[in-house]
Structure 1
Amino acid sequence: MTLRRSLAAFAACVAAGIFVAPLPAHAAGASKVSVVHGIPGQPVDVYVNGKKTLDNFQPSKVAGPLELPAGKYDIVIVKPGDPVTSPIIKVDQAAVPADANISLVAHLTADGKPTLTPFVNDVSTLAPGKARLVVRHTAAAPAVDVRAGGQPVFKNLSNPNEAKADLAAGSVSADVVLAGTTTVAIPAANLDLKEGTSTIVYAVGSAEGKTLGVVAQTISGLHGTPGSVNSGSGGTADQGPGALVYVLGGAGLILLLGGVLALRRVRTRA
């Protein structure tokens, strides 16, 4: 199923009243919500508040962003055609805050179990000439270090954490090694970061299962103007080994989600 059809499914649910009608862009109370599928080899159906929202949603795809009012949502992810009583992942009362940009990521834990992790995307204004790179480790794989010029720029990034940096727009060359070693996991490569965008790269899959890969999401429109409230725009997907170069060059702070999205209960089924 194509991303266009996935988005059409979202739109159909909105029209049917499954969600409250989306508010105008940047309206108070509305949030941009994207869904990222990082479970290898497993298409899924996604139910929100008991209604099917995505049908046969394929791995390594990004759906959205959809504008949703602030509120609480029950999310159930099942194998295609399975009832909601047989979930792969189930989250009750996930709280969508107001005026946020959120990515909900279905992925594997470090020990290979399906889970759903919410990330609040940093859509703060970028200075002229800058681009933002965010790296999220959501794979069943060991921690990694990222090197630039042979030197680590951040260390020990593990599942389900993230690192980010605002960099000069342009080309970045780096490689990825297993944490604390010089064993190259990803050879040196170049990445072109576009001014005024945030590139978010998710490491997904399983090292043991030899299904490691990446999903990339891009948020545009982060050029700032005085007095603006920036929620970002867009959200495109990329996949495959070539996209893994987006991991190269990340540096900085691991952001904790805290309680922004409260996951009251998560139940997984292998």
Structure 2
Amino acid sequence: MRRTPAAVTLAAAPLALAGLALAAPASASTGEATVSVLHGVPGLTVDVYANGEVLLPDFAPGTLTDPLQLPAGEYDLAVYEAGADPDAADPAIQADDVAVPGGANVTVVAHLSADGTPVLTPFVNDVSTLAAGEGRLTVRHTAAAPAVDVRAGGEVVVPGLENPDEATLELPAGTVSADVVLAGTDTVAIGPADVDVAEGVATIVYAWGSAEENSLALAVQTIDGLHGAPSGIPSGEAGLADPAEPWLLVLGAGALAGAALAGRRLLPARASSRG
């Protein structure tokens, strides 16, 4: 299992993705980057601009884009309330000279922090080759909630997961019986429920939204083609699940804390493995 540490605030500096280049495969093309965007802040529809041009108009909460192929380089990004005139309005969030490295596969998530503050976090997607018969399951805590433990078959496999951390497991393909408990306890918050792990596929689960505003939802992103075939190019498929009963919805709690988006950067790191 790999853990990623908490995000670092961007209050003192513009958003910079240059460090994500370290996560790009050595053989990846330097010409383009694969970028997906998840809007997980309830109640705010926005227009996203890149270098002065509209990239994502009327971007509504709960939307997970298909992967965008962007030329490597630097971008000036600005997010405005939907329909606002960028020549007259101030952006809700702005970041200049954002470095997009070629070969990287990134999902940028606008979501609630642990204390309910809207933030922006880019996650590096692991598109490395999977062993035969295995799938990859990543859990990303992107909701205002305390730390939780994720269990499989009654055993803790993801301990103390906090917002905005992630944890990744590489598992034999099949069905895993999972539940979520309050961190360090046996108190079941939700579940158990069955989670499918597909061979050669990275399944990424995001919890987002506000329990107090009844806006909890679950977003699921899949990246297939990770069997290691020489001609295979990993591709992303985005989708949203019904928020009624998914086992990871326990991660979503707290109220939307304002309409302005604040920026954050997640620094990718590899932690020690657990059995």
Q: Is TM-score (shorter-chain normalized) higher than 0.5?
A: yes
Matched, 1:257 2:267: yes
Q: Deviations over 1:109-141 (max 9, x none)?
A: 111122211111000001111110011111111
Cα separation, 1, equivalents of 2:174 and 2:222:
15
- The alignment's C-alpha RMSD in Å is 2.4
**Contact 1:89–1:114, Cα closer than 8 Å, also in 2:** no
**Contact 1:216–1:239, Cα closer than 8 Å, also in 2:** yes
**What's the secondary structure of 2:42's corresponding residue?**
coil
Deviation of 1:170 (Å): 1.1
Residues 68 and 147 (structure 1 numbering): CA distance in 2 closer, same or farther, change over 3 Å?
Answer: same
- More deviation in 40-49 or 84-93? 84-93
Residues 142 and 149 (structure 1 numbering): CA distance in 2 closer, same or farther, change over 3 Å?
Answer: same
Q: Which amino acid aligns with 2:105?
A: N
**Contact 1:35–1:63, Cα closer than 8 Å, also in 2:** yes
> Aligned to 2:111, which of 107, 113, 123?
107
Q: Which amino acid aligns with 2:173?
A: A
Counterpart of 2:49? 47
Cα separation, 1, equivalents of 2:176 and 2:249:
10
Matched, 1:75 2:77: yes
Cα separation, 2, equivalents of 1:71 and 1:178:
42
**What's the secondary structure of 1:181's corresponding residue?**
coil
Cα separation, 1, equivalents of 2:201 and 2:30:
23
**Contact 1:219–1:232, Cα closer than 8 Å, also in 2:** yes
**Contact 1:36–1:103, Cα closer than 8 Å, also in 2:** yes
Correspondence 1:64-213 to 2 at 5 A: 64-84=66-86, 85-213=89-217
Matched, 1:240 2:242: yes
Counterpart of 2:33? 31
Counterpart of 1:63? 65
**Contact 1:141–1:206, Cα closer than 8 Å, also in 2:** no
- More deviation in 161-170 or 228-237? 228-237
Cα separation, 2, equivalents of 1:28 and 1:243:
41
Counterpart of 2:258? none
Deviation of 1:231 (Å): 5.6
Cα separation, 1, equivalents of 2:184 and 2:39:
29
Q: Deviations over 1:15-62 (max 9, x none)?
A: xxxxxxxxxxx6432111111111123222111112111111122221
**Contact 2:71–2:102, Cα closer than 8 Å, also in 1:** yes
Segments ≥4 residues shifted beyond 6 Å: none
Deviation of 1:165 (Å): 0.8
Q: Which amino acid aligns with 1:257?
A: L
Residues 155 and 208 (structure 1 numbering): CA distance in 2 closer, same or farther, change over 3 Å?
Answer: farther
Deviation of 1:229 (Å): 8.5
**Contact 2:180–2:247, Cα closer than 8 Å, also in 1:** no
**Contact 1:89–1:116, Cα closer than 8 Å, also in 2:** no
Q: Which amino acid aligns with 2:217?
A: G
- How many residues are aligned here? 225
Q: How many percent of aligned residue pairs carry the same amino acid?
A: 54
**Contact 2:216–2:249, Cα closer than 8 Å, also in 1:** no
- More deviation in 129-138 or 79-88? 79-88
Cα separation, 2, equivalents of 1:242 and 1:128:
34
Q: Which amino acid aligns with 2:40?
A: G
Deviation of 1:233 (Å): 0.7
**Contact 2:153–2:176, Cα closer than 8 Å, also in 1:** no
Deviation of 1:90 (Å): 2.4
Q: Deviations over 1:160-216 (max 9, x none)?
A: 110001111111111011222333222110011211110111111124444332111
**What's the secondary structure of 2:246's corresponding residue?**
helix
Q: Which amino acid aligns with 2:125?
A: N
**Contact 1:49–1:73, Cα closer than 8 Å, also in 2:** yes
Unpaired segments of 5 or more residues in structure 2? 1-27, 251-265, 270-275
TM-score normalised according to structure 2 size:
0.74
Larger RCO, structures 1/2 (Cα 8 Å, 6+ apart): 2
Residues 242 and 200 (structure 1 numbering): CA distance in 2 closer, same or farther, change over 3 Å?
Answer: farther
Unpaired segments of 5 or more residues in structure 1? 1-25, 249-255, 260-270
